[in-house]
Amino acid sequence: MTEEMQNQAAQALVDSREILPTVDHPDEVEPVDLKAAELYINRELSHLQFNVRVLEQTLDERHPLLERLMFLLIFSSNLDEFFEIRVADQLSQLKYGREAVGPDAMYPGKVLEKISEICHANVDRQYRILNEIMFPEMAAQGIRFLRRRDWSDEQKAWIRTYFEEKILPVISPIGLDPAHPFPRLVNKSLNFIVELEGKDAFGRETGMAIIPAPRSLPRLIRLPDELCEEGDNLIFLSSIIHEFADELFPGMTVEGCYQFRITRNADLTFDYEEVDDLARTLRGELHSRKYGDAVRLEVDNRTPQELIDFLMRECNLSDDQVYRVDGPVNLTRLMAVRDLIERKDLRWPPFSPGLPGKIKKEKEKDMFQALKTGDMLLMHPFQSFTPVIDLLRQAAKDPDVVAIKQTLYRTGDKSDIVNALVEAARNGKEVTVVIELRARFDEESNLHLASRLQEAGCLVVYGVVGYKTHAKAVLVVRQEGNKLVRYCHLGTGNYHSGTARLYTDYSYMTADNDIGEDVHKVFQQLTGMGKIQRLKKLYNAPFTLHAKMIELIQHEAKLAKSGKPGHIIVKVNGLTEPKMIRALYEASQAGVKIELIIRGMCRLRPGLKGISENITVRSVIGRFLEHTRVYYFGNNGKHEVFCASADWMERNMLNRVETGFPLTGKLADRVKRELDYYLQDNTQSWELQADGRYTLNLPEEGEEPFSAQQQLLQDFAT
């Protein structure tokens, strides 16, 4: 990153400093109430600031050009979900008078005020980066997004044909009059508001119309190479609709045509006590997601104010919920550029995920035999996800396998894992699948998945109403001689081959009898009914995982108070649970060294004298999305290491079904070494300050740059 880019990044974060309340003179607060509001960062604002760090990646010239564009678009995608869920929740609290505050004591009104401030500033900045940096740099590489003024006569003729053949037959302009009121527009859809002059065939003179862009049409179109100079030449669907808007209103004059997009509340809420069939209820609710209350309006910044005022009234929005943008309002659809151009030189260099030594040789690829020789730990995407799939494929075909049980959260109904489960059921195995239908934005896919598995003969259950099943577990039961042997997979991520190439996650595979028995009991809890069963090695939420983590934190504090070293390392995606934060504060006060690697939301304030001066918090953002959940406790030299499906958040620890599993011996040592990589990272890590700001870690003078993700690629991939 150049000095100028560093300054830009630093200034952006300084500008957003006010989104987080600060601690006034922490040195003077003694003794301190560890429940005091000033010791906690608001979770929504912390979540939002993570997205600001994502946007910063667009300026990092060490990343390939098209990957920098992807970071800019991911910022938009993340912000969409933030408004659909988090902002919508805050607005609902205000609307229905159910204002709730967290440990930071910020009320929804104040939170929304800060959200608006930081979002407006960073959306403006995003479009400046797009227009002033990304588009020019891509044009220099032969990738051009052609404006209407740049179209040649030949190109315009081709575009006209495209409009007449592809767009005109499916587009439906809506004139606004008493018989045609403002339409209910789909969440996040591209639309145009049009100013009209003249009367139509019926003598109507409304002066205004709406053009919804059909969702079936691509938002980005590649022009034929023979019509262009060298390189890749793309045009926006919005440009074509702008160009030929007149032809949608014959005999009338289009005085102005402006794009806009409405973001709506997309959270699914229903009363669990009234639900007698979760799948049927979800099917009914999915349609409503498209038409929830409006929470944000994005408009072309050239749109006249009277039209913006009209849209605000129709959407019941205030001016601070309007975002005037200098470019396409639906930036996430630009991700199609990945499929429209072939420029490997502007993408991440390819790599082949590694395989453990024990299954590299053809004769040793029998997964059951491999697991009999010892446990296996894979770190994706640096190591291949294939062994997990192979375990299920072999189980589906193996005549000695009698049963397979699996949880599914996000996977898709056509994945290799689902194909293996279908084959197993058709081969006469007892296949039980616990599907979490409520995996946000994957509900529809999971409903299709459930139907496919049921049709194949699998027993499909939907977990426990009121508790999302977020655990990642596979249990294979095999008849070996006169006994049944259990083989297990436990993971920190999802059973999705695509995310296994993009997210960092651990997969643990074992034939350990105690763990197999524990996993069996977890499935019993999910599919049947009964009291809590005692587990031998695993810890599970919502029953034992939270209490065990508190116990281990307190044990490190006890060691430190007795003069022995206390050490905790936690790597999760979010840290928000107040009791765990207070336990960490107390451990810090006792002298425990606490190193937290928190990708996103973090309510804890590090570096407060007398409170958290022994705590550091860093966030790593790079090529891969950090997703592993790892808990390390030094235990006076006899370290205890756990991987889990759970973040340190209320929802994970108290309101979901999660699993935490111990690692021992060489596997634990290896995980500790990999945690150290993240603690050494001085190129892609950001340090959280006591006042809530994040600062980019850079190599000190004479220090070599070090990237954890790059080191893991070197360790495992080829």
Residue 286's pLDDT band (boundaries 50, 70, 90)?
low
Q: For residues 553 and 666, state if they share a domain.
A: yes
Question: Phi and psi for 145 in degrees, rounded to 5?
Answer: -105, 105
Catalytic hit among 470, 489, 546, 555: 470
Q: Residue 665 falls within a domain, yes or no?
A: yes
Residue 143 within a domain: no
| Domain range enclosing 436 | 364-531
Q: Are residues 663 and 560 in the same domain?
A: yes
Q: Are residues 304 and 428 in the same domain?
A: no
* 592 in any annotated domain: yes
Is 440 assigned to a binding site?
Answer: yes
Question: Residue 78, annotated ligand binder?
Answer: yes
Comparison of pLDDT for 92 and 24, the residue scoring more: 92
Least Cα distance to 216 among 266, 156, 161, 169 occurs for 169
* Domain annotation covers residue 7: yes
Residues in the chain: 718
Do 109 and 176 lie in one domain? The reply is no
- Tokens (6 digits) for 450: 């459930």
pLDDT digits (tens, 9 = 90+) for 202-224: 566 668 899 999 989 999 999 99
Task: Flag the least confident range among 56-60, 463-467, 599-603, 632-636.
Answer: 463-467
- Encode pLDDT of 32-86 as tens digits: 899 999 999 999 999 999 999 999 999 999 999 999 999 999 999 999 999 999 9
Do residues 302 and 209 both lie within one domain?
yes
pLDDT value for 251: 82
Residue 21 pLDDT exceeds 70: no
Same-domain check for residues 570 and 636: yes
What pLDDT band is residue 266 in, cutting at 50, 70 and 90? Answer: confident
Q: Residue 624, SS3?
A: coil
Residue 357 lies in a domain: no
Query: At 329, is the secondary structure helix, strand, or coil?
Result: coil
Is 599 assigned a ligand-binding role in the annotation? yes
Helices (H), 58-212: 65-81, 88-95, 108-129, 135-140, 153-162
- Are 219 and 115 contained in the same domain? no
Residues 206 and 189 in one domain: yes
125 appears as a binding residue in the annotation: no
Residue 299 within a domain: yes
Q: How far apart are CA 471 and CA 622, in angstroms?
A: 26
In a domain, residue 351? The reply is no
Decide if 470 is catalytic.
Answer: yes
If one counts the domains in the chain, the total is: 4
Whether 148 maps to a domain, the answer reads no
The reply to whether 57 and 103 lie within a common domain is: yes
CATH number of domain containing 243: 3.30.1840.10
Q: Is 7 annotated as a binding residue?
A: no
Based on the domain organization, do 118 and 239 belong to the same domain?
A: no
* Sign of the alpha-carbon torsion through 62, 66, 72, 74: negative
pLDDT at 18: 40
Do residues 510 and 583 both lie within one domain? no
Q: Which of 109, 137, 165 is the last residue of a domain?
A: 137
Q: Write down which residue in 531, 551, 586 finishes a domain.
A: 531
Amino acid, single-letter form, for residue 81: E
Burial class from Cβ neighbours inside 10 Å (0-12, 13-18, 19+) for residue 288 reads middle
457 and 576, same domain (yes or no): no
CA distance 310 to 398: 65
Q: What is the CATH number for 54?
A: 1.20.58.310
Please report, for the domain that includes residue 473, its CATH number: 3.30.870.10
- What rounded mean pLDDT belongs to the chain? 89
5 pLDDT higher than 50: no
Q: Of 505, 531, 557, which residue sits at a domain end?
A: 531
Ramachandran angles phi, psi of 474, nearest 5°: -130, 140
Provide the token pair at 266: 């997309």
